[in-house]
Structure 1
């Protein structure tokens, strides 16, 4: 067979490599992709002085009691719009979740939920929060009680009025964790910090604030003998300048670069952001157009970076009479499903009574589409198997990765079982993860380490 004619010189590929060397490095550094580790389905915010090592268990018990008073989880599943053919499995998994791990991510709040207190009182609360987070990590390590996989604090922002207070609270908390936490003595492997530690920086407006937070983390690491890059943080998007800066550009990409890989997630703050844009209290909501715009900007800004996104909260809590609870549960379920459909896989829960609809809706979301996704994954997987006839669907590799990521998320959150996934797709858990995240870098720390 003759060699086909070409027009580019043989050396052009080498020239292209040289010209694009910088671009290749930038893309690899800035867009490493998701690492395939578990993302919590929610973050529960509780004032720091109200949290104890029993908080997660108490929230689970309270959630089950509230569901029982409403006629049971099956009734709430119907209220939440879970299809009848899914209810039995979804209810069983939700009940088990509320007993074994009712809270996935717990934030001890030393910001808005804690309020302004005398400095001595907040100092004491910051140290106490460190002891509580350490105790929860030890308890989880020993399997003694249902504890969150992720836990940490939200401290006051770096705006001028609260900057000094916020930095002092951060310092006290991290220092007490390392020096008083006792994790190593309890047999928790690592560097003295909980593997699921999360730090939340609220009300960020400028790149310079992220730079200061990054510098603070590096200084704490050096002083406390922690590995470089160990302290990472999430950013709350609650101000207009984080969507559109003074220069007319979105500052989020610059913030991520300034943090040098320390940012793990962006969280949308429903009410602060809505108020900042002048939305009247009656209309402030996770589904207001200004909320959707902000979250869309966030979504595009972090796509491919490995930084996660979280939706915000609803302040309509199911805590009143029977009618009020039903309306609030129905609203919460609808908002959770809406977020999931928009690829926002995490949100805020502000009360234990929101846990049933959080899990019922989340589990139904993954199980609702599982059969179709599994069929397509099986077809894709079999394309490389000799002797297997062509299937009735021909997905591209990018679509197959999206399907695998959907199913993998379902496994990680407890909506799907690894065994049933393998039976339906032919993919074991490791194969599923490799298909979902084929470019995951070895050695890249996961957000919180879980």
Structure 2
């Protein structure tokens, strides 16, 4: 066979692009694997107790028993499809009993407010005593921002008190960094964490943090540049997640109070920017919160609103979100479980066809197959589906699904 391009020319092209490919692979390593929590619960530092996870579960269960004591009532109160209500009802009750809280942040920022130094010092020390005792797989603190000199000094002192008090943070410990506006702030936090690791004899890179996307500058900077990738790069491999801040962001966009909600198009723009900026980096995404709380006479109304918002987030590719009140656990898990149950059959069928290389009405790519497998793993992790149900739907066990994800 005759060709035109010679081997030396091709070898030169390969050599030139090899370094480029290595740099790209370093920037986009893909998801690191492992479980992603479906939510993060934010509790003000002065409100934490030793029994917090169990107490949240008990309060959520009490709300369920009062306002949705059976599957039919759950369907009517929350909006779960009637056909799925019996299964969702039983699995939500089991979840609230066994693992009501998947991820928790002790909040020293907006939910906590400004206190005199001695009070915040005491709350920071108390937090270190309680964090280890909760035994949560995912836990951490949200410190204050670096907006002003005063806030920065207080944020750093609280961070120092908590990490020094913990000595060795529990696995899954993470710091939430709020109101970030420029990459310089992220770089400054990285420098502080470097010093803390050295002086506390922690492994290099052990301390990780989440960046809250809740300012307009965190999306587009003053020169019109896309900020999200620069924030991640400034994190030097320490950024574990991007968390959307609903109300600060919508307020910054000039929206009135009535329009400050997760379903607003302004929020969609910011979330899409987060998705594009973080895609392939291994940095995970979390949606924000709903401030319509299920309390008093508004439990059912708040549940239905929260359920719709969580379902909307899931369909947009945000598999984690914030919860601010124990009773929101009901609508959170109802939404997540219903979503997983509704998609399990079709996802399993597509995955089975891909693995078997059979023809069908949909021709999936390897990346899509990996996404389907990851979705199945999430469903098992949170308790929406059992491993046996997933295996029946797609023919793969957990190890097989994990291998498919890793071969993306």
Which of the five TM-score ranges fits, normalised by the shorter chain? over 0.9
Q: Give how far 1:162 is off.
A: 0.4
Secondary structure of 1:84's match? coil
Q: Which residue of 1 aligns with 2:142?
A: 154
The correspondence for 1:403, drawn from 361, 369, 372, is: 372
2:10 is the alignment partner of 1:22: no
Match of residue 265, structure 2, among 289, 294, 299: 289
- Aligned residues of 1:201 and 1:234 also touching (Cα < 8 A): yes
- State the distance in 2 between where 1:313 and 1:5 align: 63
Mapped contact 1:379–1:393 kept (Cα < 8 A) = no
| Equivalent residue, structure 2, for 1:163 | 152
Is the 2:74–2:89 Cα contact (8 Å) retained in structure 1? no
What is the SS of the residue equivalent to 1:199? strand
Structure-1 residue corresponding to 2:326: 352
* Equivalent position to 2:166, from 159, 168, 177: 177
SS for the counterpart of 1:20 is: helix
SS at match of 2:254: coil
- Tell me whether 1:40 sits opposite 2:40 in the alignment: no
User: What is residue 200 of structure 1 aligned with on the other side?
Assistant: 176
Aligned to 1:447: none
Distance of 1:92 and 1:109 partners within structure 2: 32
Maintained 8 Å contact 1:73/1:356 = no
Is 1:106 paired with 2:95?
no
Counterpart contact for 1:77–1:360, Cα < 8 Å: no
Q: 2-side partners of 1:24 and 1:403: how far apart?
A: 27
* SS at 1:236 equivalent: strand
Distance across 2 between alignment mates of 1:428 and 1:352:
33
Q: Distance in 1 between matches of 2:55 and 2:406?
A: 36
Quick one: which of 373, 376, 387 aligns to 1:418? 387
Identify the structure with bigger relative contact order (alpha carbons < 8 Å, sequence gap 6+). Answer: 1
C-alpha distance in 1 between matches for 2:5 and 2:372: 39
Distance 1:70 1:423 in 2: 34
CA distance in 2, matches of 1:129, 1:77: 38
Aligned residue in 1 for 2:305: 331
Decide whether aligned partners of structure 1 residues 5 and 299 sit closer, same or farther in structure 2, where only a CA change above 3 A counts: same
User: Could you say what secondary structure the match of 1:40 adopts?
Assistant: coil
CA separation in 2, counterparts of 1:11 and 1:116? 67
For residue 390 of structure 1, report the CA deviation from its aligned partner.
Answer: 4.4
Q: Which runs of 5+ in 2 are unaligned?
A: none
* Residues 142 and 176 in structure 2, CA contact (< 8 A), matched pair in contact too: yes
Distance change >3 Å, CA 55–CA 73, structure 1 → 2? farther
Correspondence 1:302-341 to 2 at 5 A: 302-321=278-297, 324-341=298-315
**Larger deviation, residues 86-95 vs 160-169:** 86-95
C-alpha distance in 1, partners of 2:75/2:199? 50
Describe the SS at the equivalent of 2:141. Answer: strand
1:131-154 deviations in Å (ceiling 9; x for gaps): 1101113xxxxxxxxxx3211111
Deviations along 1:266-297, whole A, 9 cap, x unmatched?
11111111111211112111111211111111
- Whether the 8 Å contact between 2:68 and 2:77 is mirrored in structure 1 is no
My pick for the range that moved more, 422-431 or 101-110, is 422-431
**1:252 and 1:301 in contact (8 A); partners too:** yes
Report matched runs for 1:252-271 at 5 Å: 252-271=228-247
2:131 corresponds in structure 1 to: 133
Q: Measure, in 2, the Cα distance between the counterparts of 1:164 and 1:207.
A: 18
